[in-house]
Structure 1
């Protein structure tokens, strides 16, 4: 699909319903899981499920479909009854959606959990040199490490709770984490983000310009800016980083509209979840006036490329499995491909944004 057109609203809504249906019912078993907590099935509490829940919540907010809201409430009630995992950067991700449900439903049990987890994130979560949130994940401390994933998985929730609880210290922390991560992860040659940085040796691991990691910034920033009114100099800096990133993305976009899993390596496979997140972030940023209109074509080309990866049942194909910090670039090229919650959910966000264009 090379034409840069948006689906009609009827077409988009039909595909959205199929994508949501598959998101809700993804199960492990298609491949052997390597993460300590399963990240394929929506029955688990981890970052992929958190991304999926947030996309469903934004879709509910857009459409007011009560069955979507009820699915979210049922999911959290079931998960809370079963017992939550230990607190870390990735398991924080579902809390963002819970914070919205807590406010909307007035349920104190939801809000109590949100307060507890937010306080842990701000006051107790391990830090690196200079106070960066250490990318602690299930089964791995990652001492001294900053990862670009952290901004989406934890920092958005910290900001959200700062607003809900009127805690300026939480808002300040969210701003600081965005700035610090940009300081250490930005590749000054390209404006793209490296996957990670370690203070234990001061280097960027494999120097991977990993697509999905970059897309967490693109997609996360536009959602962050919808939450918070930033001081003008900080907003200006974050948006300038976004435009530098997007300018390079436009240069590296494949002919079919996709991006490669290693953005600057055309021999690495193209990857759908990152392409969907880039499309979402770029199209939304253009609509909100954060990026110049010239980037609309880049976003729409990616939009159509992702639509072509959705099969008739609503399964999004070409999505890479969870990706830890690679010590070599080959490790990124070798990550297996299978349907994942974040592939479904980033595609959902993109399709819903497409309704605005």
Structure 2
């Protein structure tokens, strides 16, 4: 029975894939709500990574075929990427490139290598803070967001390992070190969502440069950045691996303090359980489940944490993945959150990093930012049970 309850995640995923085309994926709620045309997107990237993980976990060629067909819509024979804007210097734009490594390895088609080179060219040109970290986007000067570490660093490292002999590994490590040094809260061990090295952003603390709240999805992004980067280091860089393992273990220990006792899930604003408007949020909880399960599998977190992650996954499946009349709905996903730049999409328009802002952003269903980390965690379950 326990296995059958988890199996509905496969059925849910396949129903989402059947409804989606490269030009109209049903999982990109931002594009749907704003009637935006199809474009290269970190949101699609998250979803395609989950499809790749399903392929690797099940060996079902249907998943690989979907992945290839989707990506081929966006990449021409010269590796040019539909809807990709180099000038934006947007760290999010790198995320979808993570699936290109497998496509290139499996097909030997040079267009995938050329597309990776285009994305790597952005990394080489990405503006940086004085301490050496990538700006999150050109429109956010001198700012580091936790999200950006997930979007860029695993791609950066895999490219370096395959094509550059790991030459720029020290740069990758410095970017993680900067986040640990500048964005970690000494009291809680949690990390603030954003940091402005100049302290000029209206949302930045004048002394620390950090934003004021802990957003669970951003912590999930960062936890996944750590575990995925550690995995890519393999056993070849033991000193670097040890440093990131320390950061990961400390982060997980800090996060687990704020796990809801009754549900095993995490609140939208991590450390503010019980405040009016706060809610148990699906995407961040799923990202933490994945990190726990993968970290335990690859031996960089205690083995017992696998079962902690599996429990979170089961609770999300039971509480958040609702099935009615063969319709599947994954609920309680924060649509989006950021700092400055543009108005919030909810009733609180100033993206100022406050509690009030984070709880105001729309809560949506069946968005890739929730579906994808759920599938990431589910593939860890499949690997453990196979």
Is the structural similarity TM-score above 0.5? yes
Number of equivalenced pairs: 342
Equivalent residue number for residue 209 of structure 1 = 214
The whole-number CA distance in structure 1 between the counterparts of 2:175 and 2:27 is 34
**Contact 1:257 1:304 (8 Å CA) reproduced:** no
* Local SS of the residue matching 2:257: helix
Equivalent residue number for residue 3 of structure 1 = none
* Local SS of the residue matching 2:182: helix
The whole-number CA distance in structure 2 between the counterparts of 1:59 and 1:128 is 37
Residues 312-327 of structure 1 mapped to structure 2, 5 A cutoff: 312=323, 313-325=327-339, 326-327=351-352
Q: Please, which of 342, 352, 356 is the counterpart of residue 369 of structure 2?
A: 342
- By relative contact order (CA 8 Å, sep 6+), the higher-ranking structure is 1
Q: Please, which of 190, 203, 208 is the counterpart of residue 188 of structure 2?
A: 190
Q: Write the deviation string for residues 146-201 of structure 1: whole angstroms up to 9, x where unpaired.
A: 11111111111111111221342333332222222222221122221110110121
TM-score, normalised by the number of residues in structure 1:
0.88
Equivalent residue number for residue 245 of structure 2 = 239
**Contact 2:265 2:281 (8 Å CA) reproduced:** yes
Further displaced range: 181-190 or 127-136: 181-190
Equivalent residue number for residue 115 of structure 1 = 117
Extract unaligned runs of 5+ from structure 2: 200-206, 340-350
* Local SS of the residue matching 2:334: coil
Q: Please, which of 94, 97, 105 is the counterpart of residue 95 of structure 1?
A: 97
RMSD of equivalent CA atoms = 2.4
Q: Check 1:278–1:71 CA distance in 2 against 1; reply closer, same or farther (3 A cut).
A: same
Q: Check 1:300–1:76 CA distance in 2 against 1; reply closer, same or farther (3 A cut).
A: closer
C-alpha displacement at 1:98, in angstroms?
1.5
C-alpha displacement at 1:269, in angstroms?
1.4
Q: Check 1:310–1:75 CA distance in 2 against 1; reply closer, same or farther (3 A cut).
A: same
The whole-number CA distance in structure 1 between the counterparts of 2:219 and 2:150 is 11
- Is 1:15 the equivalent of 2:9? yes
The whole-number CA distance in structure 1 between the counterparts of 2:147 and 2:301 is 22
Further displaced range: 271-280 or 200-209: 200-209
**Contact 2:127 2:135 (8 Å CA) reproduced:** yes
Q: Check 1:14–1:260 CA distance in 2 against 1; reply closer, same or farther (3 A cut).
A: closer
* Local SS of the residue matching 1:242: helix
TM-score, normalised by the number of residues in structure 2:
0.82
**Contact 2:192 2:212 (8 Å CA) reproduced:** yes
Extract unaligned runs of 5+ from structure 1: 1-5
The whole-number CA distance in structure 2 between the counterparts of 1:175 and 1:51 is 23
The whole-number CA distance in structure 2 between the counterparts of 1:84 and 1:192 is 35
